[in-house]
Structure 1
């Protein structure tokens, strides 16, 4: 499988000459007639793809942001809306059948996203998965959400999370966050084959309209040294860690502190916003665990965005271990721009993406009118993504 390049487009002047997908937050629900149609079509198309290429390739396709977006468009949902994520995931949850597709899906939107753990346990029984594979799925489910909540701090709060898996324990995660200030959504894609380490550039793609000027990405390669120092800090005596925090605060002219052993109010330093409150009892628990790696540190219950950010800033500003403050949004779905911006079109990759969908439509057991309509929508999508091609 050829790896896709990444690109990002943010200037309005480039909208006419570069592929661009927006994910505005939309309220409301898809019409019932449309959902019924999408369930029927996704059931048929998924069967064709899985029969031809297997479950693993279907999971791989869903972890490709462009393919996922095009799939939703073909099914009939508005191509640029954030709703494509929740609706397509919800439709697949109803359409995928164990005896037909060999794939199960857990989780959902809002409160349903937190049911993924329970869903996995129930669905895994139907597969007859070993306890080791079930534990692996549960860990992947938890860590994917943990990373995009705490390790990647880009201003988007997760509200949608699903994990799809097969009988061999292969999995794909699709989750989405929202930013109330800019009214946009951001979607995160994961695939088990792509994850060697949950805290080392694990995503297959991240789709978003805007690139933040300052976002903490502890999964970036540039953050690896910072990760090591964070682990050392967390494993050291809590009083030593407190001393580092006080040293950092003493260097700033905006020192504001709230007393007490359990909670400390942390200042804004060097332009980086520090967490307002630190729970020293949590740091004592971390010290007792003595994590051997950053992934293990992140996996400890209670370790969230505030803990990650505080340790990272101490590691950088006191010990000189720099973290990445570059937004990790990746337009891995953008196969290229027609004028070579930001890179020439990878025709083979683009054609392969479309070929999968075209073949699935042609082979699906659906009415002729639905097939024609789906092909038209696919053609429309490719034209809008790659004008002039």
Structure 2
């Protein structure tokens, strides 16, 4: 039986990730992947990639727009760049990408297979089949423009691909996972990320097995002209058609159209748990961890959210917007990216992973305890309102190296002088 994990719809946004953010996303994405592989193994990292809610939260914690279609492109690109130097160590490879890069996926798989020893030609065929299913067998109005293939040295894989519907200004992300996959044409998806747009043609649904067989039988028996005649006859029928049996429930992520992060998008008790854990555990638990110059309470708060990305279970990612409160967003939603904090987060996590590779687990264990403490404290912790939290972040943005696609954030004094001159 094939494993299908869920689906998601995302507002379709144009624009590019600025280099200053793309480079940081590359570093943070790679070190988070390393931490997950170290703690739980690379198979678990593949499972995370196949989960639409985790994938969205992963992009949000890296400073990308929390709800837009661009998260898919930017996360795939960041991981492809960041994991390439680590592919020999982790046994994990990223092929494909957006546009012309997606068409190079089969050739990249063959090259990787030749280098590490798996059947690259077979996986290239799988890549083509996956793309064909979501572009032809599932006719939902979304045209594929991104196809990425994550594969391990032992041939396990996840595909994340995305289509767009220009009329509705929506994107839909599809997740596939080789674990448990026995058929490319019957319920093969690990996840489909998209907004419900009504009835669609989905010939991969297990309930469509009879339809797939009937289509082949008709083609063999009647030929094209005969099929046209049958279609005309069916169009004249007026008998009601009984509904199909219920399909099994799968996670379905629907991101809102509004760009700003709103209180209803965030589970505040979990945010308060992270803030409380950072305040209580930071001073006592991070004496050795916080050796990066300038690291303080603000960085520990970000680390608490990064720790949840590394250690959290699927139910923890129902509100991807919450993870944008770690490092903001490039379009200033919910606040400009605090580049100094982001750099410190990357530095602390890289230091912890590097020490763990040498058998010194203390630093990574401290980050894991931070996550555990967050979960315990969220039951009772209190804290600022969402609006007050965001307002304070915006007020301190200049101190944190705040930056967005609109430029660097000015100090309050410079803002006042700018307003006066205008």
TM-score by length of structure 1 reads 0.62
Aligned to 2:185: 199
Is residue 2:302 matched to residue 1:373? Answer: yes
Name the CA distance, whole Å, in 2 between partners of 1:177 and 1:194.
24
Contact conserved, 1:59 with 1:171, CA < 8 A, in 2?
yes
Aligned to 1:346: none
Name the CA distance, whole Å, in 1 between partners of 2:141 and 2:249.
12
Aligned to 2:46: 59
Is residue 2:135 matched to residue 1:149? Answer: yes
Aligned to 1:81: 68
Contact conserved, 2:146 with 2:161, CA < 8 A, in 1?
yes
Name the CA distance, whole Å, in 2 between partners of 1:374 and 1:80.
21
Is the radius of gyration larger for structure 1 or structure 2?
A: 2
- Deviations along 1:233-259, whole A, 9 cap, x unmatched? 233353xx4123124336758xxxxxx
Pairing 1:5-16 to 2, within 5 Å after superposition: none
Is residue 2:213 matched to residue 1:222? Answer: no
Is residue 2:196 matched to residue 1:211? Answer: yes
Contact conserved, 1:223 with 1:323, CA < 8 A, in 2?
no
**Most deviating of 170-179 and 222-231:** 222-231
Q: 1:333 to 1:252 in 2, by over 3 A?
A: closer
Aligned to 1:168: 154
Contact conserved, 1:106 with 1:119, CA < 8 A, in 2?
yes
Aligned to 1:103: 92
Aligned to 2:170: 184
Aligned to 1:246: 229
Partner-residue secondary structure (3-state), 2:189: coil
Q: What's the CA shift for 1:55? A: 1.7
Is residue 2:106 matched to residue 1:117? Answer: yes
Name the CA distance, whole Å, in 2 between partners of 1:329 and 1:83.
27
Q: 1:46 to 1:376 in 2, by over 3 A?
A: closer
Task: Count residues in correspondence.
Answer: 280
TM-score by length of structure 2 reads 0.58
CA RMSD of aligned residues (A): 3.9
Aligned to 1:312: none
Contact conserved, 2:173 with 2:192, CA < 8 A, in 1?
yes
Aligned to 1:260: none
Q: What's the CA shift for 1:123? A: 1.9
Aligned to 2:117: 128
List alignment gaps of at least 5 residues for structure 1: 9-20, 254-268, 271-316, 335-349
Q: What's the CA shift for 1:379? A: 7.7
Q: 1:229 to 1:42 in 2, by over 3 A?
A: same
- Deviations along 1:294-335, whole A, 9 cap, x unmatched? xxxxxxxxxxxxxxxxxxxxxxx9xx999979999953569x
Contact conserved, 1:73 with 1:378, CA < 8 A, in 2?
no
Name the CA distance, whole Å, in 1 between partners of 2:132 and 2:220.
20
Partner-residue secondary structure (3-state), 1:29: coil
List alignment gaps of at least 5 residues for structure 2: 255-269, 279-285, 310-315, 323-377, 380-422
